[in-house]
Structure 1
């Protein structure tokens, strides 16, 4: 289950249910969490530690933040502070810290093997990906196949975008059943390229990043 920001009545209702929860951070909190470790400590105490019987799995610091917006520079420092606080609170093995990104960060996504992030967002995405690799946390992706169809009706078939049977296509020599898989593989290719300069992703690390993809 995913909450885009903390909601105490919902958290109380989830207590003891064993439902794994993705806890979002309100965009209005990102500045403080980025600039003030004490704010991160207070946030974790108020929204995580206060509910010991809730199965928190992820803290998502920002949802689809535009790197070029006023919030863009806050995402990565907020993730770092939240990670340090959760570890200090003994939650490091239980709760992972990540963020959620949008398809618009990609320069292209078809064929997936040729996908890459826009050069203008490399400053934003690279440290986040390196951090996630180091902490063994997945990147979270919102994939909206129908929105991609709306933005490119000339080249995308509606049935392909709606995951209908018998509407697959071959892209870059690979058969894809639907547009969801195309976007999924495009992100994996783009992330791998960003990290290749440091060291190649292992199969396990690639799988861990794939496992965090969030579909809405």
Structure 2
């Protein structure tokens, strides 16, 4: 059976799809679950509150007494420039949150979305981090909503993708957490690895769109062990520190 589980981040299990067999298997466990609303479901949930009710009933309320849900990710890496679904993300988040609130679960289970780094127009140096002009209207409204409901923004940070797109300026140890020295000095901050530098740029960018107090939670990260440039089992190991 093919199941859509992304991976474990810290102590959370990230479930990219609502697989009922997995939800059933997690009953009574101590694993905290991050569960995703698929991009294909967003428009329906945004446009029809009953769709949001059904989604929450079938995937959350049926299991909420003995499954530890941590976050609901409404959309994963929705590109505001390329994907028409982006205009429905905020309303879908609002509908999901409203249904959770009607069951008094809004403080126990946080609603968010997971962004990709392509939304950033500038990330180097980290102090100049900012979202691209075309992404700002999309992310600004989401940031305000997350601030209002006191939920974090989730971000997928793959240093591998940054490395293979600019291996001339990004050296491998910096991308792999194995650098023995500081590579970036940026004001009062020093960065010894690309992951921290990227996260710093995200925080700066958020501050520019009203999210100075917003927490960022890393939802996906890692390094491939095969199938690409600099993708070996040995290089995969250092990223397990994340």
Same fold (TM over 0.5): yes
1:59 and 1:98 in contact (8 A); partners too: yes
The question of 1:195 aligning with 2:210 is answered: yes
Residue 78 (structure 1) aligns with: 92
Pairing partner for 1:50 from 52, 62, 67: 62
Q: Which moved more, 1:65-74 or 1:77-86?
A: 65-74
Cα distance in 2 between the residues matched to 1:33 and 1:131: 17
- How far off its partner does 1:165 sit? 3.6
Report how far residue 161 of structure 1 moved: 0.5
Partner Cα separation in structure 2 for residue 215 and residue 65 of structure 1: 14
Counting only pairs closer than 5 Å after superposition, residues 79-98 of structure 1 correspond to structure 2 as 79-98=93-112
C-alpha RMSD of the superposition: 1.2
| Aligned position for 2:197 | 182
- Stretch of structure 1 that moved more, 145-154 or 158-167: 158-167
What count of residue pairs does the alignment treat as equivalent?
A: 206
Looking at structure 1, the residues matched to 127 and 194 of structure 2 have their Cα atoms a distance apart, in angstroms, of 14
TM-score (norm 1): 0.92
Consecutive unaligned residues in structure 2, runs of 5 or more: 1-12, 222-242
1:213 deviates by 2.2
Structure 1: 4+ residue segments shifted above 6 A: none
Which of 131, 144, 161 is 1:117 aligned to?
A: 131
Correspondence for 1:32: 44
- Bigger fraction of residues in helix: 1
Q: How does 1:112-191 map to 2 (within 5 A)?
A: 112-173=126-187, 174-191=189-206
SS of the residue 2:74 aligns to:
strand
Give 5+ residue unaligned stretches, structure 1: none
